[in-house]
Structure 1
Amino acid sequence: MSETEEEKKKRRPGAPRILIAGTGSGCGKTTLTCGILYGLVRQGYSPAAYKCGPDYIDSMFHSRVLGIETGNLDSFFTDDQTLRALLAGRQADIHVIEGVMGYYDGMGFTENGSASEIASLTKTPVILTVNARGMSRSVLAVLRGFLESQSWPGIKGVIFNQLSPVLYPDIRREAQKLGVRVLGYVPRLPEAAFESRKLGLVTPGEIEGFRDKLALLYDSLKDSLDWDSIWELAESAPDLTGFAAGEEKVFNGIKIAVAKDEAFCFLYQDNMEFLRRLGCEIACFSPLHDSGLPEEADALILNGGYPELYADRLEKNGSMRRAVKKAVENGMPVIAECGGFMYLHRRLQDEKGEYHEMAGVLPGDCYRTPKLSRFGYITMKAEKDNLLCRAGETLKAHEFHYYDSTCPGDAFAAKKGGGRAGWMAGVADKTMYAGFPHLYFYGNKKAAYAFVEAAEKYGKRRKNITISETVRGKDPGA
């Protein structure tokens, strides 16, 4: 039965909601979040999902579970008003937020940008995921430590991951004495585990039998979790009334070509939403499978991803490589982040150490390194006027990559968020931003405007050329 407009009006802005936090990376919060989301869908609800911080892959898992696009909540990129507005703006029966890393882990050795900060800013009840594998009574010490470290009392519930059903009654009884609601446990289910790689979990599209694993997980969680208490906790979250996204300038007739396929899968859906709010049409294309860019595109976004895993196939698609190079050299505005930046190089080294020809816009090569090259939030100060900002202005960004470049660029002076380390980064001019750092448009609205304005200018020039060539009797596509 479709929802009526009256039923939609009865929904509370941003509520009910919960935040699934963890004691650290790898504790099982993504598995638990996906299991809860899948269970809610199976029970007939329409949940919305969010990921704290700049992560792409966990959001992809949420999307696969729900069959819809999901968003991020990031207190480094956005101000408090925008953060709450992003949460309040989505229509859902329940809002489920997944934390990032450990609950208190933020920039440097602070809670800035952490799940705990986002929970506090949004007044969202927190369910802590505690991995109990290899422990029995010791899990109580872990739980006690997290409860006593709170600056804001947000942890209201706990779920124990990889816990034996035999131990659960005793642990539940003792944990309740700490003043927290024990909402169940997740037994060890190796056949339902999600595989990992260097940047975290592999993408859901690479997991064989993903839906079967979810079904197996839910078959266990439907009995081992206290679903009624989870709902009660979510219902206790206050409404986010009064928080709405501000009005934006609207452009007309602008088409943005956006790379999206197996190789280029790291994109913020919030970025696409923001471009649509500005009146842009999003035209997705595949550098792997398509022969050229979408027709009448006014700008290009090459997202991050894993191009090194598909380097051979990207090389063999010569028509796409030539189309991208021609478009950029003709002045089409382009944002190329991380994997997209790698694609613009002359050559790219794959995971086996072999080099493959790429688009050839940039003269250098991209090569793999044995360790994580950059990781975390950064600010970037422009050395000169460019596509996104003027000299001296600052952008907020995020980096996470093992690859490096022989021409990393020097358009920006980058500085680690919360630290002193600095380096030069990015290739930029009046029509291009290309570099390893990722941008989030809700945290860089002025840069997004500049990009769309450049697309508008390019589109007008393109249309004038087309009209001129048509008048002269020349086929503009020749």
Structure 2
Amino acid sequence: MVDISSKEREDKSSAETLRAVMIAGTGSGVGKTSVSLGLMSALKKKGLRVQPFKVGPDYIDPGFHEYVTDTGSYNLDSWLIPSGQLRHLWQQKNAEAEISVVEGVMGLFDGASPRTDRGSSAEIAKMLDIPVLLIIDTGGMARSAAAMAKGYSEFSSELNLAGVIANRVGSQSHFELIAEALESETDLECVGYLPKNIDVELPERHLGLIPAGELKELERAATVLGDMVAENLSLDSILNLAEEADNFTKPEEEKNSGPAASLTAKNSGNLQLPGQNLKIGVARDEAFSFHYRANFDLLRELGCELVEFSPLQDEKLPAGLDGLYMAGGFPEVFAEELSCNRKFRENLKQRLEQGLPCFAECGGFMYLMEEICSRGGDCFTMVEYFSGRTVMTDSLQNFGYVNIDLSDGLKLRGHEFHYSRLEESGSLPFQGRVKRQRSGEARPGMAVKENVLAGYPHLHFFGNQKFVARWLNLCAGEINSWL
């Protein structure tokens, strides 16, 4: 239980410091999301301005963060985003925060490689000097929790592993055994615990947790978890440990810093877009909800006006658009509704055939195909811009980081996570190759037709600046084709 007085806030602001903490875990499924949401809720209830972040490429957890904190959550992915741009993003988004809470991904040291920290929560914590609280699922153990914590703390001397949170604890006496073992064998503070059998659960779906906009129980879950964190974790201890995030300075108010300033058009030269007032249409509704907030920020910083539309509800695209962004989501879940909106499908197809520049990723790509078919065999007509269909399966078809090598020197980095596969797509106009980051396995690249570039990979614009430059120059009429 802690509150921050106005005097303390003034002192913090003048010192240009930041409280920050990362909630990491020994692996997936140990409670990172539950603890992160509970901590964000408890801190916000105490009057603190909480800035949430998520390690890795996930879209869904940031939606939960935003719901709980009323503040946009940003992805910190050291494989998708160059280190300089990642630091810029971290500093820029923390400028007005009183505490930053970063939810980790998978296990603390799991990332893009089994030999290094690349892409892991540990790499982000070391890069940005973030103290780490490690969640251990302590159900059925006591002293063994100390052995796990000691192993994690000694695995990397550069990591600031500041404390432990015990999850799924059976009772107060059980927690005392765990805390005593940690105190005896490590220098780590056990800042508290969450009990087992909490009467709240975030249900899962094939692409992960249900998106925040669809989860009616999220408000109740956040309240229950927030109360549980406030009761069983020491917020004072967490805030004290968070003070160790001392490598932070407020970003200078300069237009020549950050990703927007370093974008290049064509092959060389700065991209001059502010003042051109490009209008970019963005598909955004229940079916298309996977967006990196930083992508929107970058487009606006470059002078673009973003105009949202709904393929589920609208009859036609907004007027006066210079380009389209068809992002991912769950079009397969809303396939029947999307199919029934015939007027919009026909209008979109007509505008694309007339040359409207468009980038479509994953769910957006699926929507532009002829059909989406369910696991049960039901097929629904989509936009029919590309030939072929996507068919839902019971297993992941592609998952992980990819390198995309298109012709004309356009190289991209992306991430894939999808259960659908392409069928009857032999005539798709693929360009280049998509290669898995880990294995190097290659397959046909992205589909390019007229002024449309589409495929399964999701892109973070901070790490694909040449792509952004090419796309917006196409929207502005400065170039005539993607490649």
Q: Assess same fold via TM > 0.5.
A: yes
What is the CA–CA distance in structure 2 between the aligned matches of 1:315 and 1:52, rounded to whole Å? 35
Matched ranges for 1:104-123 at <5 A: 104-109=109-114, 110-123=116-129
Q: Which residue does the alignment assign to 2:383?
A: 359
Tell me if structure 1 keeps the 8 A contact 2:92–2:250. Answer: no
Matched ranges for 1:56-455 at <5 A: 56-90=59-93, 91-109=96-114, 110-164=116-170, 165-177=172-184, 178-241=186-249, 245-246=257-258, 248=261, 249-251=272-274, 252-382=276-406, 384=407, 391-406=408-423, 407=425, 410-429=430-449, 431-455=451-475
- The number of residues matched between the two structures is 450
What is the CA–CA distance in structure 2 between the aligned matches of 1:432 and 1:131, rounded to whole Å? 47
What is the CA–CA distance in structure 2 between the aligned matches of 1:166 and 1:126, rounded to whole Å? 25
Q: Which residue does the alignment assign to 1:23?
A: 26
Alignment-mate amino acid for residue 450 of structure 1: R
Change (3 A) 1:111 1:159: same
Change (3 A) 1:56 1:124: same
What is the CA–CA distance in structure 1 between the aligned matches of 2:38 and 2:432, rounded to whole Å? 42
CA deviation map 1:88-141 (0-9, x unaligned): 002211111111111101113132111101111111111111112233333222
Change (3 A) 1:223 1:452: same
Root-mean-square deviation (CA, aligned residues, Å) is 2.2
Tell me if structure 2 keeps the 8 A contact 1:189–1:217. Answer: no
Change (3 A) 1:182 1:339: same
Tell me if structure 1 keeps the 8 A contact 2:22–2:103. Answer: yes
What is the CA–CA distance in structure 2 between the aligned matches of 1:39 and 1:443, rounded to whole Å? 34
Tell me if structure 2 keeps the 8 A contact 1:13–1:89. Answer: no
Alignment-mate amino acid for residue 381 of structure 2: E
What is the CA–CA distance in structure 1 between the aligned matches of 2:248 and 2:418, rounded to whole Å? 36
Alignment-mate amino acid for residue 185 of structure 1: Y
TM-score, normalised by the number of residues in structure 2: 0.88
Tell me if structure 1 keeps the 8 A contact 2:285–2:312. Answer: yes
Tell me if structure 1 keeps the 8 A contact 2:375–2:391. Answer: no
What is the CA–CA distance in structure 1 between the aligned matches of 2:71 and 2:228, rounded to whole Å? 24
Partner secondary structure for residue 21 of structure 1 = strand
Partner secondary structure for residue 220 of structure 1 = helix
- Once structures 1 and 2 are overlaid, which stretch shifts more, 250-259 or 44-53? 250-259
Tell me if structure 2 keeps the 8 A contact 1:303–1:340. Answer: yes
Q: Which residue does the alignment assign to 1:475?
A: none
Tell me if structure 2 keeps the 8 A contact 1:409–1:424. Answer: no
Matched ranges for 1:30-49 at <5 A: 30-49=33-52
What is the CA–CA distance in structure 2 between the aligned matches of 1:402 and 1:199, rounded to whole Å? 8
What is the CA–CA distance in structure 2 between the aligned matches of 1:374 and 1:11, rounded to whole Å? 48
Tell me if structure 1 keeps the 8 A contact 2:30–2:136. Answer: yes
- Once structures 1 and 2 are overlaid, which stretch shifts more, 301-310 or 65-74? 65-74
Alignment-mate amino acid for residue 415 of structure 1: K
Tell me if structure 1 keeps the 8 A contact 2:42–2:227. Answer: no
Alignment-mate amino acid for residue 173 of structure 1: E
CA deviation map 1:155-175 (0-9, x unaligned): 111111111233111111211
- Once structures 1 and 2 are overlaid, which stretch shifts more, 101-110 or 127-136? 127-136
Change (3 A) 1:22 1:14: farther
Partner secondary structure for residue 362 of structure 1 = coil
What is the CA–CA distance in structure 1 between the aligned matches of 2:438 and 2:14, rounded to whole Å? 39
Q: CA deviation at 1:307?
A: 0.6
What is the CA–CA distance in structure 1 between the aligned matches of 2:58 and 2:52, rounded to whole Å? 13
Tell me if structure 2 keeps the 8 A contact 1:52–1:97. Answer: yes
Q: CA deviation at 1:448?
A: 0.8
Tell me if structure 2 keeps the 8 A contact 1:415–1:423. Answer: yes
Tell me if structure 2 keeps the 8 A contact 1:52–1:73. Answer: yes
Tell me if structure 1 keeps the 8 A contact 2:51–2:73. Answer: yes
Tell me if structure 1 keeps the 8 A contact 2:375–2:393. Answer: no
Change (3 A) 1:26 1:123: same
Q: CA deviation at 1:420?
A: 2.4
What is the CA–CA distance in structure 1 between the aligned matches of 2:442 and 2:250, rounded to whole Å? 39
Change (3 A) 1:202 1:13: farther
What is the CA–CA distance in structure 2 between the aligned matches of 1:242 and 1:225, rounded to whole Å? 30
What is the CA–CA distance in structure 2 between the aligned matches of 1:117 and 1:74, rounded to whole Å? 10
What is the CA–CA distance in structure 2 between the aligned matches of 1:25 and 1:97, rounded to whole Å? 15
Q: CA deviation at 1:179?
A: 0.9
Consecutive unaligned residues in structure 2, runs of 5 or more? 1-5, 262-271
Q: Which residue does the alignment assign to 1:388?
A: none
What is the CA–CA distance in structure 1 between the aligned matches of 2:273 and 2:44, rounded to whole Å? 35
Tell me if structure 2 keeps the 8 A contact 1:298–1:458. Answer: no
Q: CA deviation at 1:457?
A: 1.6
Q: Which residue does the alignment assign to 2:55?
A: 52
Partner secondary structure for residue 179 of structure 1 = coil
Tell me if structure 2 keeps the 8 A contact 1:260–1:285. Answer: yes
Alignment-mate amino acid for residue 447 of structure 1: F
Tell me if structure 2 keeps the 8 A contact 1:335–1:432. Answer: yes
CA deviation map 1:15-54 (0-9, x unaligned): 2211111111111101111111111111111111111111
Tell me if structure 2 keeps the 8 A contact 1:250–1:277. Answer: no
